[in-house]
């Protein structure tokens, strides 16, 4: 842990880390652990990690996959399992999976016995470059995403690059959206790198050095911002680019209509349109087209379904955690590598919402 910024967990990224997890955990002084994962990840990686953790005592809690598991009801179920396993304050919880598993396991670790040690073992691109870093944990309510949560940074983040090889293309696409987000915030070079990667038909063919560079560069941008603003009192709020509308879209679909990456991708397009409508992109007028082309390369939606009602989305926006005195707050790009946090009128967002629905039925649905 970085003493200057406790939210910045030590980050280790290499192939084969799951095989060494037992040695890494023993080095931290632990002889027992509880693994929290989902059914999909367990099927792919449980045997590898079980062998890697030998001879430590290990107990596994396997949850259904998907955002639908990130609820207080599921947290209560996990508490019951921990009680039955007699998990004490010296027993670490390890999150093996993507953002949903990491958020849920982190919240459980933050609240069980007022806090137990926590380690992140991210297996998705989204988790490796974004959600595993920065100490945020949380669960959803029916009314909105991540409305209940706690700050509880991992003792360490151990990311095994091999796990990315088993990701379906749709999961890769979601990770690319998070990488695109930080590229828009801070790095034109990373945006160009993403455009090169977007030309490959199969992410499984990416050479390992290219994947490693992508993860390190994207995660490095987030970690630098977190290091300067650990508790989101200023600059860190920029990392919400695309997420204000994105979270509202997820909630409107009952967390089944859009994946997180699909919703945030649409949120990025909305933020760029808001900026363009305000005349903030005069020096980067090509950005909306570049972003739309990248979303298209990853078969991500670029327009909203006609069945989606503004009133439902607006209700989600009004519950957003970042509102100020009842006003909507959006992160808006003002150039390549630059963005600002600005208050916007609900009417502005509705206009963009209608613009994104205008092409319904076109070939741009992805």
Please, which residues bridge with residue 137 across strands? 150
169 in active site: no
247 in active site: yes
> Per the residue annotation, which of 243, 273, 290, 302 is the catalytic one?
243
d(CA 189, CA 174) in angstroms, rounded, equals 20
| Residue in the structure block whose two tokens are 């078969």 | 299
> Per the residue annotation, which of 7, 67, 171, 178 is the catalytic one?
178
Through-space distance between the first and last CA atoms of the chain, rounded to whole angstroms? 41
d(CA 302, CA 359) in angstroms, rounded, equals 9
> Per the residue annotation, which of 136, 145, 223, 302 is the catalytic one?
136
> Per the residue annotation, which of 133, 236, 273, 290 is the catalytic one?
236
d(CA 8, CA 120) in angstroms, rounded, equals 12
Helix 260-277, helix 287-297: angle, nearest 10: 160
Reduced to 3 states (helix: H, G, I; strand: E, B; else coil), residue 111 is helix
> Per the residue annotation, which of 133, 152, 217, 222 is the catalytic one?
222
C-beta atoms surrounding 277 within 10 Å: 15
Which is it for strands 328-335 and 338-344: parallel, antiparallel or unpaired? antiparallel
67 in active site: no
114 in active site: yes
> Per the residue annotation, which of 232, 250, 273, 302 is the catalytic one?
232
327 in active site: no
Looking at the chain, how many residues does it have? Answer: 366
Which is it for strands 118-122 and 156-160: parallel, antiparallel or unpaired? parallel
278 in active site: no
243 in active site: yes
Q: Is 308 exposed, middle or buried (0-12, 13-18, 19+ CB in 10 A)?
A: middle
222 in active site: yes
Is the backbone peptide bond immediately before 55 cis, with ω within 30 degrees of 0? yes
Q: Which two tokens stand for residue 66?
A: 């998907």
Q: Where are the alpha helices (DSSP H) in 112-237?
A: 125-126, 169-186, 188-197, 208-228
Whether residue 344 contacts residue 277, with contact meaning beta carbons closer than 8 Å, is answered with: no
345 in active site: no
> Per the residue annotation, which of 155, 193, 217, 240 is the catalytic one?
240
> Per the residue annotation, which of 145, 260, 273, 302 is the catalytic one?
260
Q: Catalytic site residues?
A: 114, 136, 178, 222, 232, 236, 240, 243, 247, 260
């Amino acid at each position: 842990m970085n003493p200057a910024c406790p939210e910045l967990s030590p980050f280790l990224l290499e192939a084969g880390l799951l095989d060494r997890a037992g040695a890494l955990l023993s080095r931290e002084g632990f002889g027992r652990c509880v693994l929290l994962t989902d059914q999909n990840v367990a099927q792919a990686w449980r045997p590898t990690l079980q062998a890697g953790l030998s001879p430590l005592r290990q107990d596994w809690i396997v949850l259904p996959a998907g955002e639908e598991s990130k609820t207080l009801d599921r947290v209560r179920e996990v508490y019951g399992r921990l009680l039955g396993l007699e998990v004490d304050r010296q027993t670490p919880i390890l999150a093996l999976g993507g953002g949903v598993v990491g958020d849920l396991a982190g919240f459980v670790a933050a609240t069980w016995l007022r806090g137990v040690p926590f380690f992140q073992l991210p297996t998705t691109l989204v988790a490796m470059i974004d959600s595993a870093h920065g100490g945020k944990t949380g669960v959803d309510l029916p009314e909105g995403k991540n409305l209940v949560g706690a700050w509880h940074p991992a003792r360490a983040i151990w990311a095994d690059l091999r796990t990315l090889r088993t990701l379906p293309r749709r999961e890769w696409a979601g990770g690319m959206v998070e990488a695109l987000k930080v590229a828009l915030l801070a790095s034109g070079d990373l945006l160009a790198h993403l455009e090169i990667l977007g030309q490959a038909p199969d992410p499984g063919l990416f050479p390992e050095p290219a994947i490693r560079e992508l993860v390190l560069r994207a995660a490095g941008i987030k970690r630098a911002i977190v290091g300067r603003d650990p508790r989101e009192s200023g600059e860190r709020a920029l990392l919400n680019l695309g997420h204000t509308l994105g979270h509202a879209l997820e909630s409107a679909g009952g967390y089944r209509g859009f994946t997180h990456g699909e919703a945030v991708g649409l949120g990025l397009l909305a933020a760029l349109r808001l900026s363009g409508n305000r005349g903030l992109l005069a020096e980067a007028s090509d950005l909306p087209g570049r972003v739309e082309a990248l979303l298209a390369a990853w078969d991500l939606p670029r327009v909203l379904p006609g069945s989606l009602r503004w009133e439902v989305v607006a209700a989600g926006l009004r519950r957003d955690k970042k509102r100020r005195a009842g006003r909507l707050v959006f992160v808006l790009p003002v150039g390549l590598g630059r963005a600002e946090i600005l208050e916007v009128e609900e009417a502005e967002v509705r206009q963009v919402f209608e613009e994104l629905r205008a092409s319904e039925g076109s070939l741009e649905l992805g």
